[in-house]
Structure 1
Amino acid sequence: MDLNALETSFDLVAPRGEELVELFYTRLFETAPAVQPLFAHTDMARQRQMLLAALVLLRRSLRDLDAAVPTLRRLGARHVEYGAEEAHYAVVGATLIGAMAEIAGEAWTPAYGEAWTEAFGVVAGVMLEGAAEAQLAIAA
């Protein structure tokens, strides 16, 4: 992973973090309206805060991603309870990266998008491992 690109691009959008997560959820519900019912009983203000906190944690953990693995697995397991499906992860990743690019504007480069696509693939993979473990536990 291009850690410098990830850190630099995140630092571009971080000052507008609240706007970023607001834009993300707006775009997510426009792009994938089928996921909106998953948030029917969700306090969206709190949800936006939690997403921003998760992104900040990821930014802080980039140089030691192994330290974030347990948290990401737990997050994946919790998403099973919410009804998240594997197919949702790609939509969420693309929407988040698109929102970051929009917030960064002309400062965003293709290298940033590529770095985040790779990073989100890793994050989603770990979360899906946690989701699979949770589904096995439910089935048992």
Structure 2
Amino acid sequence: MAAGSPVNATELPLDLVNPSVSAEEPLDARDIELVQTTFKKVAEVGPEAAGRILFGHIFRIAPEAKALFSFAKDEETMWLPGSRLEKHGARVVNTVATAVSMLNDLEALVPVLQRLGLQHVGYKVLPPHYDVVGQAFIATLDDALQTEFTEAVKNAYLKVWKIVQATMIGDNYA
């Protein structure tokens, strides 16, 4: 499909368990363009709102993940505007925005992700948690992008997530 051509958003249903993308396919320039273009719409939602949506999906997919976050101990206040969850979610979304902006320079992005991965070891994040965050991230993108979240866009983000996940895990759990 040519850039700028209309897309059919109902090509294939979103499948968070068995995404229709080969894990072996490399990230290419078209994928990077799709991610960088569509992430601008996520940015329009705002990092606080996108972060709340992301953590809503994380806690829906894996309620036990709340134990990893001190701000999740008080269910009543954690969703309030200005809460620690909102601030943390905004930091996560802003970090993703930085990574998206660096996709054309993976050589510079990799050390950033490696440091971030090492930090997360200290937070007691385990490799399976990255799967949960990946699923929640894809669901968040689906919410934010709506009809623009086509199969091609989803596949591009899945390729990016594979790089992020593999780099952050690295040798940290060997």
- TM-score bracket, normalised by the shorter chain, equals 0.7 to 0.9
Alignment of 1:7 onto 2:36: yes
1:127 matched residue in structure 2: 168
RMSD: 1.6
Alignment of 1:45 onto 2:74: no
Cα-to-partner distance string for 1:19-59 (whole Å, 9 max, x where unaligned) = 21110101111110111110025732331121022111111
Does the CA contact (< 8 Å) of 1:24 and 1:95 recur in 2? yes
| Alpha-carbon spacing, 1:83–1:65, altered in 2? closer, same or farther (3 Å) | same
Does the CA contact (< 8 Å) of 1:94 and 1:117 recur in 2? no
> Of the candidates 47, 52, 58, which is equivalent to residue 22 of structure 1?
52
In structure 2, what is the Cα distance between the partners aligned to 1:79 and 1:91? Answer: 14
Alignment of 1:87 onto 2:116: no
Does the CA contact (< 8 Å) of 2:52 and 2:86 recur in 1? no
Does the CA contact (< 8 Å) of 1:97 and 1:116 recur in 2? yes
* Percent of aligned positions that are identical: 27
Q: Which has the larger radius of gyration?
A: 2
2:65 matched residue in structure 1: 35
Number of aligned residue pairs: 133
Alignment of 1:74 onto 2:115: yes
Structure 1 runs (4+) deviating above 3 angstroms are none
Cα-to-partner distance string for 1:87-130 (whole Å, 9 max, x where unaligned) = 11111011111111111111221111111111100011110016
Alignment of 1:98 onto 2:128: no
| Alpha-carbon spacing, 1:41–1:26, altered in 2? closer, same or farther (3 Å) | closer
Higher helix share: 1
Unpaired segments ≥5 residues, structure 2: 1-26, 73-83
Give the TM-score normalised by the residue count of structure 1: 0.87
Does the CA contact (< 8 Å) of 2:50 and 2:90 recur in 1? no
Does the CA contact (< 8 Å) of 1:13 and 1:100 recur in 2? yes
Q: What SS is found at the alignment partner of 1:62?
A: coil
Unpaired segments ≥5 residues, structure 1: none
